[in-house]
Amino acid sequence: MAIQWFPGHMHLTKKAIGDRIKNIDVVIELLDARLPGSSANPMLAELTAGKPALKVLNKQDLADPVRTDQWLAHYNQLPDTKAIGLDASMTAPAKALATACFALAPNRGGMVKPMRVLICGIPNVGKSTLINTLAGKRAAKTGDEAGITKLEQRISMADDFYLYDTPGVLWPRIIVAKSGYNLAASGAIGRNAFNEEEVALELLNYLIAHYPANVEGRFKLEGVAQMTDEVLLEAIGRKRGALQGGKKINLQKAAEIAIYDFRAALMGRITLETPEEFAEWLAAGQKMDAERQVKKDAIELDRKIRFKKVPRPDSRSAS
């Protein structure tokens, strides 16, 4: 089942970004280093088109370093785009971000032409935590829950450097099914919008193929590469005591354990997609979306034709 989550305040955020972008010099999009493609918002790309972009792969300390390098190389080859990695251990993130912004907009700076930067990203990507680090104080609310920030904020990084923070925002319709699962696994989607067991199975299916040793090390299991996702979920539940009456596995609890351990990097540093994989998923999603639109247009056209063929009742003859 496709996962979708677009609460009402995200419509307001979309409008606010559209209004603000006119006076912005550089757009910083904070991405989750564990899912850089899935956490890149296509709606933001449309709203901020034409502006220099800084892609910041946040939480890189939780991600596979080899794959992080692949994603940085991918984004750095795009026009008017620069990409850097970031994590909580960095001692001078403000300097790194400012340097990258001035490289993208070298004509800005000074009191006459202050640098104006918009920072945006999906919910729960760590944006508010970063803002507080940059500002040196608690400028933004934080929490391990999607949708904490609800209003735009302006933070003065320096006398000539203004940072505009926006609430985390997804996009109205996620056409890449795998992205929906990855976003849910990462915590970017409200928990009421997805089924934990379904998301856990998708997550484990990927880990079996790409990170079996990580799973074995965390849960003290053997032969993970030969398991199915259902068998692995049951094995995790059994190992962690997620049992109910009659020693039956509590799959809901097992799913919560698997998702939590991924989010907390207790299975090690994992990235759920490569640039090549995401390109394939996106192409497939776009093809399906185009086919869906063709069917929808055909149905609408048929409805209009049938409507025109049926004469409207004549009120005079009825009387």
How confident is the model at residue 20, as a pLDDT? 83
d(CA 250, CA 72): 40
Domain boundary pick from 242, 263, 284? 263
pLDDT in tens, 164-178: 887 777 766 788 999
Q: Which of 233, 263, 293 is the last residue of a domain?
A: 263
Q: What secondary structure letter does DSSP report for 268?
A: -
- Residues 292-312 have a mean pLDDT of 75
The pLDDT of residue 143:
42
pLDDT-derived band of residue 278, with 50, 70 and 90 as boundaries?
Answer: very high
Q: Which of 165, 186, 203 is the last residue of a domain?
A: 165
Q: What is the reported pLDDT for 302? A: 78
Residues 43 and 158 reside in one and the same domain = yes
Specify the pTM. Answer: 0.83
Assigned domain for 239 exists: yes
On average, the pLDDT of the chain sits at 85
74 occurs within a structural domain: yes
Query: Which tens digits make up the pLDDT trace of 109-132?
Result: 888 999 999 998 888 888 878 887
Q: Are residues 161 and 13 in the same domain?
A: yes
Are 235 and 139 in the same domain? no
Q: Mark whether 160 and 204 lie in a shared domain.
A: no
Q: How far apart are CA 259 and CA 195, in angstroms?
A: 11
**Helices (H), ranges, 115-264:** 127-135, 177-186, 196-210, 212-219, 229-239, 251-263
Nearest to residue 125, comparing CAs of 70, 171, 170?
170
Crossing angle of the two packed helices 275-309 and 65-76, in degrees rounded to 10: 60
The pLDDT, as a whole number, for residue 313 is 56
Is 159 in the same domain as 206?
no
| Cα–Cα distance, 85 to 31 (Å, whole number) | 9
- Residue 319 domain flag: no
State whether 151 and 227 are in the same domain: no
Q: Which of 26-30, 123-127, 236-240, 270-274 bottoms out in mean pLDDT, i.e. has the lowest?
A: 123-127
The answer to whether residue 301 sits within a structural domain is no
| Predicted confidence (pLDDT) at residue 12 exceeds the cutoff of 50 | yes
Q: What is the pLDDT of residue 242?
A: 93
Which among 51, 63, 45 has a CA at the least distance from the CA of 24? 51
Kindly state whether residue 15 falls inside one of the protein's structural domains: yes
Confirm whether 236 is domain-assigned. Answer: yes
User: Considering the chain, what percentage of its residues have pLDDT values greater than 70?
Assistant: 86
119 in the same domain as 247: no
53: CATH: 3.40.50.300
Q: Please report the pLDDT score of residue 316 as a whole number.
A: 53
Q: How far apart are CA 59 and CA 61, in angstroms?
A: 5
Segment 65-90 mean pLDDT:
93
Kindly indicate the confidence band of residue 100, based on its pLDDT and cuts at 50, 70 and 90: very high
Looking at the structure, tell me whether residues 13 and 145 fall in a common domain: yes
- Does any domain span residue 302? no
| pLDDT at residue 281 tops 80 | yes
Number of domains the chain contains: 2
Q: Which range has highest mean pLDDT (73-77, 164-168, 287-291)?
A: 73-77
What DSSP element (H or E) covers 103? helix 93-104
Give domain status of residue 104, yes or no: yes
Q: Kindly report, residue by residue over 137-166, the tens digit of the pLDDT.
A: 544 444 444 444 445 678 888 888 988 887
Tell me, yes or no, whether 231 and 128 share the same domain: no
List, for residues 20-51, the tens digit of each pLDDT value.
Answer: 888 899 999 999 999 999 999 888 888 888 89
CATH number, domain containing residue 215 = 1.10.1580.10
Residues 54 and 130 grouped into a single domain? yes
Asked whether residue 160 falls in the same domain as residue 211, the answer is no
Write out the residue range of the structural domain in which residue 211 sits: 195-263
160 and 12 in a single domain? The answer is: yes
pLDDT greater than 50 at residue 183: yes
